[in-house]
Structure 1
Amino acid sequence: MAKAYVKNYYDLTPAAPARHLNAHAFAFGLPATMDSDTYNFFSICEIRFGGAAILDNHKDADHCYFILSGKGYSIIKGKRYEYKVGDVMWIPGNSDHEMYPIGVQTLKFLVTLTPKEFNQTEPFIRNINDVTPVPAADAEKATAFPISNPKNGGSKTIEFQVVEILPDGVVSGQVAESDQMSYVISGKGYVIADGEKLPLSVEDGFYIPKGVKYEIHPDGCQALRIAQSFGPARLASRD
C-alpha cells in the first residue's frame, strides 16, 4: 500500500513547466512519488511579472487552481476570467486556456490536475468567502469551506475545500475514501497516518492514500488552516 508523506515547499526542486514563461512549479505529488493513478500532479506554480502559461489544452484532465498570492486572469475558450487570493479557478478538460499575472506581484497558486472519472463541466471562479461553511466531516471543532465539488459546478474528478481546525479540535478516525493531497496555509500541527506521526507546518504539502486511517491535529494556540484536494471526489460516492 502507498504511504502517507509530508513535503515542505522550500525543500522542493523547482521545475520549468511546459508551455510556461518566467514560471516555476514545485510538485508535492506526482504519480511516481504517490503510487497513485488518481492524480497527474498536485503542486504550487509561480508565474512572475512578465510570465504566462501560454495556450494549452489538457484534453480530459480537469484543472483546479487555488490562488495563494497575487492576482491574475485566464482566457478559457475565448472568455476572460479574473481571480485573486482565496479564489478557486476551475478549468475543465477539453478547454483551450491561458494564464497571466496582473500587476508586478508573483501569481502563486495550488494546482490539482486529474483526469480520473472525467465529465465535461464549465469554467467558474468561486471565492472561499462565497461558500457557506459547514462542519467538517468526522471532526470536532473544525469547519469546512466546500469551494468545488460535484454538487456546485465541479466534477467527480476533484473535490476542493479549505478546512479550519480550532486549537482544541481534531479531524479523527477517518479512513481515506480517496487519495487526497493537502497544503498547510497557516498554523501548525501533525497528521497521524496508519499510526505514524508526521509534523505539519506552514507550506507543507501532505499526501494520504486511499484506504489509510488518519487523524489531523493542530498543535499550539493557532487554528490549523489547510487546503484539501480529494480526487476523485469523495462526495460522488456519498450520493
Structure 2
Amino acid sequence: MTTLIPDDGQFKNAAKEKQAVTRNLGELLWVQYPGHFNQALSKAIVTPETVGSRFFDHRISCYEPGAYVENHVHKVQEQIYHVLSGEGILTVDGERRLVRANDVTYIPPGVHHEFHCTGTDTLVFLVITSPPTDEEPQPR
C-alpha cells in the first residue's frame, strides 16, 4: 500500500470550501525564511498558502543552538510564541527574557522582538500569527 503525501497546494481552498484539514508534521518540509539564520527552521502548518486560512498563520519552528530570527516588528500582526522544548533568549522591546518549555509569550503589533536559541538543545516552539499578513487593512 502506498501513502500519498499531499503537496502544499492540495488544501489551498479548504477554508473557502469549508473543508476541515488534518495535517501531519512529517508531510511538511522545513524552510528557513528570510531574516532567520543558522538553522532557524519552520514548517508552515496552517497558512493562507497551505489551507487558505484567512485569519491566522500557524507554524512550528525548530532552532538549533546558535540559530535566531533577527530583530523585527510587525505593523498589524499579533503573535504568540509557545515554547515546547529547549530554551532561548527572547528579546522584546530591548528586554531580554529567558524562555523555555511551557512559556507562552504574546507580542502585540509595534513591539520589536528577536529570538535566539541559546541552550545546548534544539529550541522547538509554535508561532501563531494573526492576521496572516502584515498589511494595513484597506478602507472599503
Shorter-chain-normalised TM-score: which range? 0.7 to 0.9
Q: 2:72 aligns with which of 174, 181, 188?
A: 174
1:207 deviates by 0.9
The residue that corresponds to 2:59 in the other structure is 161
Q: 1:195 aligns with which of 77, 83, 94?
A: 94
| Structure 1 residue 149 corresponds to structure 2 residue 47 | yes
The residue that corresponds to 1:123 in the other structure is 20
Contact kept, 8 Å, 1:162 with 1:225, in 2: the verdict is yes
* Secondary structure in 1 matching 2:71: strand
Q: 2:33 aligns with which of 124, 129, 136?
A: 136
Contact kept, 8 Å, 1:176 with 1:208, in 2: the verdict is no
Q: Using the aligned pairs only, state the percent identity.
A: 25
The residue that corresponds to 1:209 in the other structure is 108
| Structure 1 residue 231 corresponds to structure 2 residue 130 | yes
Aligned residue pairs total: 120
The residue that corresponds to 2:4 in the other structure is none
* Secondary structure in 1 matching 2:67: strand
* Secondary structure in 2 matching 1:129: helix
1:120 deviates by 6.7
Higher Rg of the two aligned structures: 1
Instruction: Return the alpha-carbon distance in structure 1 between the equivalents of residues 17 and 95 of structure 2.
Output: 39
* Secondary structure in 1 matching 2:26: helix
Contact kept, 8 Å, 1:122 with 1:153, in 2: the verdict is no
Instruction: Return the alpha-carbon distance in structure 2 between the equivalents of residues 162 and 195 of structure 1.
Output: 24
> RMSD across aligned C-alpha pairs, in angstroms?
2.0
Q: Which amino acid aligns with 2:58?
A: F
> Could you give the per-residue CA deviations for residues 129-185 of structure 1, whole angstroms, max 9, x where no partner exists?
111211133110211100110111141201000011110111112113510011101
* Secondary structure in 1 matching 2:29: coil
Gaps of 5+ in 2: 1-13, 136-140
> Could you give the per-residue CA deviations for residues 82-135 of structure 1, whole angstroms, max 9, x where no partner exists?
xxxxxxxxxx99xxxxxxxxxxxxxxxxxxxxxxxxx67421001111112111
Query: Which structure has more strand as a fraction of its residues?
Result: 1
**Cα distance change, pair 150–121 in 1 and its aligned pair in 2 (3 A):** farther
* Secondary structure in 1 matching 2:66: strand
The runs of at least 4 aligned residues of structure 1 exceeding 6 Å deviation read none
**Cα distance change, pair 158–121 in 1 and its aligned pair in 2 (3 A):** farther
Contact kept, 8 Å, 1:183 with 1:203, in 2: the verdict is yes
Contact kept, 8 Å, 1:179 with 1:209, in 2: the verdict is yes
Q: Which amino acid aligns with 2:74?
A: A
1:201 deviates by 0.9
Provide TM-score, normalisation by structure 2. Answer: 0.77
Q: 1:186 aligns with which of 85, 104, 124?
A: 85
* Secondary structure in 1 matching 2:91: strand
> Could you give the per-residue CA deviations for residues 183-225 of structure 1, whole angstroms, max 9, x where no partner exists?
1011011210110112101011111111211110112211111
Gaps of 5+ in 1: 1-91, 94-118
Q: Which amino acid aligns with 1:148?
A: V
